[in-house]
Chains A and B, each alone.
Chain A
Amino acid sequence: MYDPTVARLTYRALLGRRRALILGALPLLLIVISVIVRALVGADDQTAADLLGSLALATMVPIIGVIAGTGAIGPEIDDGSVVYLLSKPIKRPTIIFTKLIVAIAVTMVFSALPTLIAGFVLNGNGQQIAVAYTVAALVSSIAYAALFLLLGTVSRHAVVFGLVYALVWEALFGSLVPGARTLSVQQWSLAVAHKVAGGDLVTSDVGLTTATVFLVAVTVLATWYAGQKLRSLTLAGEE
Chain B
Amino acid sequence: MAVEQPMPTAPGDQTRIHNIGYRNYDGPRLGRSYATRSLYSQSLRGAYGLGRSIKSKVLPMLLFVVMCVPAAIMVAVAVATKAKDLPVDYTRYAIIMQAVISLYVASQAPQSVSRDLRFKTVPLYFSRPIETADYVRAKFAALASALFILTAAPLIVLYVGALLAKLDFADQTKGFGQGLVSVALLSLLFAGIGLVIASVTPRRGFGIAAVIAVLTISYGAVSTLQAIADAQGSSSAVPWIGLFSPVTLIDGVQSAFLGASSAFPGAVGPTHAEGVVYVLVVLGLIAAAYGLLLRRYKKVGL
> Using a CB–CB distance below 8 Å, which chain A residues touch chain B?
18-19, 22, 25-26, 29, 33, 36-37, 40-41, 47, 50-51, 54-55, 58-60, 63, 66-67, 70-71, 74-75, 78, 156-160, 163-164, 167-168, 171-172, 238-239
Contacts and interface: CB of A to CB of B under 8 A. Distances in A.
A125 to B, nearest CB: 19
B216 interface: yes
B85 to A, nearest CB: 22
10 contacts: A22-B213, A25-B213, A40-B232, A63-B213, A70-B205, A74-B205, A75-B205, A78-B203, A163-B103, A168-B66
Contacts of A70: 205
B42 interface: no
Instruction: Say which size band chain B's interface belongs to.
Output: 35 or more
A18 B224 contact: no
Contacts of B231: 47
Contacts of A164: 103
Given A71-B206, A171-B99, 8 more contacts: A19-B206, A37-B228, A59-B220, A67-B209, A70-B205, A74-B205, A159-B204, A160-B59
B221 A239 contact: no
B5 interface: no
Contacts of A50: 224, 227
Interface stretch (B48-56, B178-186, B290-298): B48-56
A63 B232 contact: no
A73 to B, nearest CB: 11
A51 B224 contact: yes
B225 A160 contact: no
Contact of A75 (B103, B106, B203): B203
A172 B217 contact: no
Contact of B217 (A29, A78, A171): A29
Contact of A159 (B52, B208, B225): B208
Interface of B: 52-53, 55-56, 59, 66, 99-100, 102-103, 106-107, 119, 200-201, 203-206, 208-210, 212-213, 216-217, 220-221, 224-225, 227-229, 231-232, 234
A40 B230 CA distance: 11
B203 A41 contact: no
B232 A163 contact: no
Contact of A55 (B203, B224, B234): B224
A219 to B, nearest CB: 22
A54 B220 contact: yes
Contacts of A58: 220
A59 B228 contact: no
A40 B228 contact: yes
A26 B213 contact: yes
B172 to A, nearest CB: 27
Closest 4 CB pairs of A and B: A159-B205, A239-B53, A159-B208, A59-B220
B208 A29 contact: no
Given A47-B228, A159-B208, A168 B103 contact: yes
B225 A36 contact: yes
B206 A18 contact: yes
A22 B210 contact: yes
A172 B69 CA distance: 15
A164 to B, nearest CB: 6
B224 A160 contact: no
Contact of B99 (A25, A159, A167, A239): A167
A88 to B, nearest CB: 24
Contacts of B220: 54-55, 58-59
Contacts of A63: 209, 212-213, 216-217
B209 A22 contact: yes
Given A26-B217, A63-B216, A63-B217, A168 B99 contact: yes
Contacts of A51: 224, 228
A60 B59 CA distance: 23
Nearest to B59: A160
A158 B224 contact: no
Contacts of B225: 33, 36-37
Contacts of B99: 167-168, 171-172
A131 B53 CA distance: 47
